[in-house]
Homo-oligomer: A and B are copies of this chain.
Amino acid sequence: MAEQKGARSQPEMSERELLVVFTPSGRRGRFLPGTTVLHAAQELGVDIDSVCGGRAICGRCQVVLSEGSFAKHGIESYPENLSSLGENEVEYRRLHSLEPSRRLSCSTRILGDVVIDVPPDSQVHKQVVRKRAEVHDIEVDPLVRLHFIEVPEPNMHDPSGDLERVCQELEFEWGLTGLTCDLHVHQTLQDNLRKGEWKVTVAVFRQREIIALWPGFRDQALGIAVDVGSTTIAAHLCDLSSGKVLASSGMMNPQIRFGEDLMSRVSYVMMHPGGEKELTEAVRSAIRQLSQEVCKASGHEPSDVLDMTFVGNPIMHHLLLGLSPLELGGAPFALVTDQALELKASELGLDMHPGTRAYLLPCIAAHVGADAAGMVLSEAPYLREEMTLLVDVGTNAEIVLGNRDRLLAASSPTGPAFEGAQISCGQRAAPGAIERVRINPETLEPRFKVIGCEAWSDDPE
Which A residues are within 8 Å of any B CB, using their own CB?
154-156, 159-164, 180-181, 183, 186-187, 189-191, 321-324, 326-327, 331-339, 341-343, 347, 363-366
Contacts and interface: CB of A to CB of B under 8 A. Distances in A.
Given A159-B365, A161-B363, A366-B159, A186 B336 contact: yes
A334 B164 contact: no
Contacts of A326: 190
Given A163-B337, A163-B339, A339-B164, A155 B332 contact: yes
Contact of A336 (B189, B335, B336, B341): B189
Contacts of A181: 337
A364 B160 CA distance: 8
A364 B164 CA distance: 13
A82 to B, nearest CB: 42
The 9 A-B pairs at the shortest CB distance, nearest first, are namely: A159-B365, A154-B334, A161-B335, A161-B337, A163-B337, A161-B338, A154-B332, A156-B332, A190-B327
Contacts of A341: 183, 186
What number of copies of this chain does the assembly contain?
A: 2
A187 B338 contact: no
A48 B162 CA distance: 43
A351 to B, nearest CB: 16
Contact of A183 (B190, B321, B338): B321
14 contacts: A155-B332, A156-B331, A156-B333, A159-B338, A159-B364, A160-B338, A162-B334, A162-B335, A162-B337, A164-B337, A183-B347, A186-B341, A190-B336, A191-B324
A318 B181 CA distance: 15
Contacts of A189: 336
Contacts of A186: 321, 323, 336-337, 341
Contacts of A337: 161-164, 181, 186
Nearest to A343: B183
A327 B327 CA distance: 53
